[in-house]
Structure 1
Amino acid sequence: MPSELLVGKEDHEILLATAVVDVLSENGYPVKARLILDNGSQCSFASEKFVRKLNNKTYDNQIQFSGIRCTPTVSNKMLNIVICSNIHENFRLKVSCAILPVITSKLPRIPLNKNRLNIPSEFRLADPKFHIPSDVDVLLGADAYYDILLPQIHRVGPKLPTLQLTRLGWIIGGQLPPQRVPKQGKVSLLCQNACESTDSLGEILSRFWEFEELPESKFLSADEELAEQIFIQTHVRLKDGTFQVDFPFNCPTEKIPLGDSFHIAERRFTNLEKRLQKNQELFSTYKNFIDEYVSLKHATYVPFNSTDKSAEIKYFLPHHCVIKESSETTKLRVVFDGSTKTSTGFSLNDLLHKGYQVQPELYDIFCRFHQHSYVLTCDIEKMYRQVKMNPSQRHLQNILWRNSPQEELKCIQLSTVTYGVTSSSFLATSVLKELASNCKGFPLAKKALLNRRTWTMCSMAQIPFPS
C-alpha cells in the first residue's frame, strides 16, 4: 500500500466480529461463507456474489431499509439459508436474507497482527482468519444474532478486543492497539426500516390511495407455492368425511434436524403444575380441557420412556393457559408452543412452511359489511381440530400431562391440526377451501367460501327477512 495513503499518526482500528460457517445448498452440500455479526441490523443480508455461488432459489419480496441518516435502499429479492456451525456440529440456524449487490468492503480494512492480542490458544475462533482482509458474504442481523450467543465473555485487556462465545465459536470484536491505518472512513452497518420522513408527499398520497383500494389477487412467493403444492399432493379425505393433512416441511422429512425437546417441556410443565396446584378451580378447568381433548379423540395417551434413546424422536409442545374473563364462551384457552427450540437449535415451527393467508384481508371483509343491509356471521367450532394429521407425523405433536404431582408424567399425542404450530392456519383454511370446491348441493355456501369477495356465508341481499 502506498505510504501516502497512511495517516501520519497512529490511530485505533475497530474490529467487527466475523465468523466462518457452512451454508447448505439445496442439494445438501456445504458452501463456505463468511458472516459479519451485526445486532444493530433489523434484518439479515446476503451478497449477490455469494447467492450465485450457493445457487439456491430466491423469491421476490421487496424490503426497504436504511442506515445512518435514514437514506433508503431497496432489496427486491430474498433467500432462505441454513447456517451450520463448524464448532457445534448439531447446530443449525435458518435465516431469511435480503439480497444486496455488496454488503460491505473487505474486513478488516488492513492486515492485523493477531499475536499482539494474546488470544488463549485453546479458544476455537469462529473466524480463524479474522485478521486477514476478506469478503463478507452474509450479514447476520438481530433477527438471528441472539440465537447464537452463549454467556461466556473473555476480555483480552484494557482497550483491547473482547471475545464472546457463540454457537459458531469465539467471536472477537472491539478496539485494537494503536497502529497506522488507511486514510478512509469507518465502517457502520446499522440497518433499520426506512424512515417515513424521507418519503415525498407524492409517495405518501400514493400509499394512501393504494390502502383505500380493495386488495388485488395475491401472488404467492416460492415458499407459499411449495406449501400449497405439499397440501395438494398430500391431503386426503377419509371415509368418515374428514380431511387428513401433512406438515408442509421445508426440509427432507428423513433429515428433520430436531433434537431433545422433552426436558424443556418437562421443566415448563412443572412450572405450570405449580401454578395449577395453587388454584384448584383453574386446575379443574384445565383438566376438563385435557379430558375433553382426549374424549373427542383429538388426542390419545401414548407410551413414552424419556430414557429410551432408541425410540423415535418426538417433539414435545410446552403448553400453558391464557385466561380471558371477558369471553362469554371460553374463558380459559390452552396455548401450545411450537416455537420451542430443541437441543439442536431448531423448533418444529422452524422446519415448516407457514403457507399463505387463504381467507381475504380483514379490510376486505370490513368493506363488504357495508354492501348489504343484513349480514350473518358464524363460528366453526374447534375448526383446527376438525382436521386430522397424518398418523406418521403425529409423533411431532406431543404434550405432557398428569392429574397430580404424585403420578408419573404421561405423554399425550395430538391427532389433529394444532394451534401454536406455524402452518396450522394455512392447513385448516385450505381444507375449508377444498371442502367448498366439492360442495355441490349448496351453491350459495360454495360461492361464499370460494369467492374472495364474499367470504361471509352468503349475501344477505338474497335472503328475504320478515319486516
Structure 2
Amino acid sequence: KSDRPNSSVQLTQRESPQAAKIKPTAIVQVYNANGEGVNCRALIDNCSDDCFIEESLVKKLNLKKQTLPHHQNIEALEGKLVATATESVQLELSSLYHPQIQINLTALVIKKIGGRYPRESLDASNWNHIPKIGLADPHFNESTPVNILLSTDIHYRIIRSGLLRGNENDPVSQESIFGWLVGGGTATSNPTKSICNLTDLSLETQIQQFWKLEDCSNEVNRLTPQELNCEDHYNRTTTVLPDGTFEVQLPFHADKLSLGNSKFMATKRFHSLEMKFSRNSDLKVQYTKAIHELLADGHLEEVPRSEFNIPDDEVYYLPHHPVMKESSTTKLRIVFDASAKTSSGVSLNEQLLVGPVLQDDLTSILIRWRYWLVPFKADVKQMYLYISMHSPHRNFQRILWRDHPQQQVKMFRLKKVTFGVASSPYQAIKTLQTLAMKQRHKYPHA
C-alpha cells in the first residue's frame, strides 16, 4: 500500500485593492468629574441612533454611571447583535476651536467601540483641497483608536455650510464647530494578496466519499429528545377548526427562560424603519400596502385593549424590515425577526423547539422526479399563512405599526404561523403531512 497521494485540489484566491474608507473623526474636549477638559478622539457617525463611550475612558474621567432601566442591545445591519449596554453617562464636551460652544449628551457605556480609524494609515500629501490648519482631527489619516462615538443628531448639530471637494476619488472636507471634518472613500495602494491552499486526497478517502455519495439507504434518522418533544407537542396541541384550518401552538422548551421586555427593542427598530421610509417614499408605499394586505386577508389583527397590559414574559414584539427581490413576483417581502434579543438577553427563537427535518433528502426528490414520464410540481403560495396560531400564543407574534409618523404607534399581532419564527418550517411541513394522511382515503391518487 502506497502512502503517496493520488490526487490534489488547489484553490487560489486573489484580493484586488479596495477603496479605503475615511470616517470623520475629531479631537474634542470632554470634561471629567472635576470639570477639567481632557482631549479625546471621537468618531462622527451619522448613521448611529445613540452616542457611545468606552468603559476605560469613563474610568479615566471618573464619571458617574447610571444604570439603564432596561438592557439596550446594540445592533448592526439586519439586527445582528454586536453588544449590550447596561449603563450610561452624561457627557459635556466642547470644541478646541470654539470652547464657548458646549454640547451635553447621554452616552451608552460599552467595552470597545471598534478598531482603528482609518483601518490603515493613508498618504494625504496629494489632497491639496484639505486645509492644513483648522482640522477637527489633525491626524485624521493616521490609523489610531477612537473612544467616543457621536450619533446622527450630534452630527447635524455640529456641521456648517462649508464643503471642500477634490478629485472624484478624494475624500471630502466638511466644516463643523469642531473644525474641518474629513471623510469619504479614497483609493488605496495596498499590494494584491494571494492565498493558495493545497489539499491532497488519498485513494482511500476518495472511495469512502464515493460510497457515501452513492448510498441511497432509507434508514430513518433517530430523533433527539428535543425533536421527540416537539413531535409530541404538535400531536397533543394541534387542532382542526370547524372550517378545516389547522391551529397550532408555539412549542416552547420545558425549561423556558424569562423573556424580559421586547417592546423597547422593537420600538427602536421600528423608528429606524421609519427613517428608511423617509429616504425612500416608494419603499414606504409598498411596505404599507403589504401591511394592509395582511390586515385585509385576516392574517394580522390589532391587539385587543383588554390585552394591553400582559406581563413581559407572556408577550414578544417582532421587529420587522423589508427584503426586496426583483426577480420574484412579490418584489417586497416583510421579514419578521424572532431572533432579536430582549432586555434579558434572550430571543423568542431561543425559547422554541425547532423540530426534526421532515423534508425528503435531495437524492430521494430527484429519483422520485425522474420516476414518472410526466412530473408535475406546485408551489403553495404563502403556505405559513394558511395555518392558524393558537390565540394566546399570538401575543408572542406582536408587531408595531403606524401608517404615518404623525399617528400613534399601534400594537398588532400575527394570527398565523409566521415566517422568521424558528418552529414555523417544522409546523408547516408537519401540517402538510398530517393533512395528506387525513385525506388519503378521499384522494387516493394524490
Query: TM-score, normalised to structure 1's length?
Result: 0.51
One-letter code aligned to 1:264: M
Q: Quick one: structure 1 residues 316 and 198, their matched pair in 2 at CA, closer, same or farther if it must change by over 3 Å?
A: farther
Query: Alpha-carbon deviation of 1:307?
Result: 9.8
Change (3 A) 1:249 1:201: farther
Render the CA deviation track for 1:30-66: whole Å, top value 9, x for unaligned: xxxxxxxxxxxxxxxxxxxxxxxxxxxxxxxxxxxxx
The SS at the match of 2:388 is: strand
**Letter aligned with residue 234 of structure 1:** T
1:196, distance to aligned residue in structure 2 (A): 11
**Cα distance change on mapping 1:222 and 1:204 into 2, 3 Å:** farther
> Is 1:280 aligned to residue 239 of structure 2?
no
**Whole-angstrom CA distance in 1 between matches of 2:313 and 2:252:** 18
Q: 2: CA distance between counterparts of 1:198 and 1:349?
A: 41
> Would you say how many aligned residue pairs link Structure 1 and Structure 2?
257
In 1, distance between residues paired with 2:289 and 2:82?
39
Following the alignment from structure 2 to structure 1, what is the Cα–Cα distance between the partners of residues 443 and 307? 50
Q: How does 1:172-211 map to 2 (within 5 A)?
A: 201-211=203-213
Question: Aligned ranges for residues 303-382 of structure 1 at < 5 Å?
Answer: 303=304, 313-327=314-328, 329-382=329-382
Report the equivalent of 1:222.
225
How many Å apart are 1:305 and its aligned residue? 11
Q: Distance in 2 between matches of 1:418 and 1:429?
A: 13
Partner of 1:96: none
- Shift of residue 214, structure 1, vs aligned partner: 2.9
Q: Which one of the candidate residues 152, 155, 167 is aligned to 2:111?
A: 152
Cα distance change of structure 1 residues 269 and 391 upon mapping to structure 2, 3 Å threshold: same
Match of 2:434 in 1: 434
- Evaluate the alpha carbon distance shift between residue 311 and residue 325 of structure 1 in structure 2; reply closer, same or farther with a 3 A threshold: closer
**Which moves more between the two structures, 255-264 or 333-342?**
255-264
Q: CA deviation at 1:318?
A: 0.5
TM superposition shift of 1:228: 0.5
Which residue of 229, 238, 242 maps to 1:239? 242
Equivalent residue of 2:371, what SS? coil
CA distance in 1, matches of 2:239, 2:308: 36
Q: Do the aligned partners of 1:389 and 1:415 also contact (CA within 8 Å) in 2?
A: yes
With over 3 angstroms needed to count, the CA separation of the structure-2 counterparts of 1:200 and 1:246, relative to structure 1, is farther
Q: Is the 8 A contact 1:304 1:411 kept in 2?
A: no
Structure 1 partner of 2:401: 401
For residues 300 and 369 of structure 1, what CA distance do their matches in structure 2 show?
A: 41
Higher mean alpha-carbon deviation, 222-231 vs 417-426, is at: 222-231
CA distance in structure 2 between the aligned counterparts of 1:245 and 1:393, rounded to whole angstroms:
9
Aligned equivalents of 2:442, 2:336: Cα separation in 1: 37
Q: In 1, Cα distance between the equivalents of 2:417 and 2:286?
A: 22
Q: How far 1:147 sits from its partner (Å)? A: 7.9
* Pair 1:423–1:391, CA change in 2 (3 A): same
Shift of 1:306: 12
5+ long unaligned stretches in structure 1: 1-144, 154-194, 446-467
Cα separation, 2, equivalents of 1:223 and 1:269: 34
Give matches, 1:3-402, under 5 Å: 151-152=110-111, 201-214=203-216, 216=218, 217-252=220-255, 256-303=257-304, 313-327=314-328, 329-402=329-402
CA distance in 1, matches of 2:430, 2:307: 35
Q: Secondary structure at the match of 1:416?
A: coil
TM-score by length of structure 2 reads: 0.53
Q: SS of the residue aligned with 1:444?
A: coil
Q: Contact 2:250–2:393 at 8 Å: present in 1 too?
A: yes
How far has the Cα of 1:317 moved from its partner? 0.6
Distance of aligned partners of 1:311 and 1:264 in 2 relative to their CA distance in 1, 3 Å threshold: closer
Residue 370 of structure 2 aligns to a residue whose secondary structure is coil
Which one has the largest radius of gyration? 2
Partners of 2:259 and 2:312 within 8 A in 1? no
Residue identity matched to 1:152: K
Q: Distance in 1 between matches of 2:222 and 2:295?
A: 40
Q: CA deviation at 1:302?
A: 1.1
Pair 434,306 (structure 1): closer, same or farther in 2 beyond 3 Å: closer
Q: Within 1, Cα distance between the matches of 2:85 and 2:226? A: 28
Structure holding more strand per residue: 2
Contact 1:303 1:410 in 2 (8 A): no
Take 2:393 and 2:434, find their aligned partners in 1: how far apart are those partners? 22
Q: Is the 8 A contact 2:320 2:335 kept in 1?
A: yes
Q: Give RMSD over aligned pairs.
A: 2.9
Whether contact under 8 Å (1:304, 1:410) holds in the other structure is no
**By how many angstroms is 1:236 displaced?**
0.6
CA separation of 1:331 and 1:309: change in aligned 2, threshold 3 A: closer
Percent identity at matched positions?
36
Q: Within 1, Cα distance between the matches of 2:306 and 2:274? A: 20
Q: Where does the alignment leave 5 or more consecutive residues of structure 2 unmatched? A: 1-80, 87-109, 113-196
Three-state SS of the structure 2 residue aligned to 1:227 is: helix
| C-alpha spacing 1:309/1:338, structure 2 compared with 1 (3 Å) | closer
Query: Separation in 2 of the partners of 1:148 and 1:206?
Result: 47
Deviations 1:92-113 (A, max 9, x none): xxxxxxxxxxxxxxxxxxxxxx
Summarize the Cα distance change of 1:398–1:309 in structure 2 as closer, same or farther, 3 Å threshold: closer
Change (3 A) 1:198 1:228: farther
Question: Residues 259 and 313 of structure 1 are in contact (CA less than 8 Å); yes or no, is this contact kept in structure 2?
Answer: no
1:333-357 Cα deviation digits (max 9, x unpaired) = 1111110111111100001111112
1: CA distance, partners of 2:343 / 2:331: 34
Indicate if the aligned counterparts of 1:262 and 1:306 stay in contact, CA closer than 8 A. Answer: no
Maintained 8 Å contact 1:355/1:423: yes
Distance 1:389 1:380, change over 3 A: same
Tell me the residue number matched to 1:416.
416
**Offset of 1:263 from its aligned partner?**
1.3
**Does the C-alpha gap of structure 1 residues 196 and 377 become closer, same or farther in structure 2, counting only changes over 3 Å?**
farther
Q: Is the 8 A contact 2:260 2:313 kept in 1?
A: no
User: SS of 1:370's equivalent?
Assistant: helix
Deviation at 1:358, TM superposition (A): 1.2
> Shift of residue 417 of structure 1?
0.5
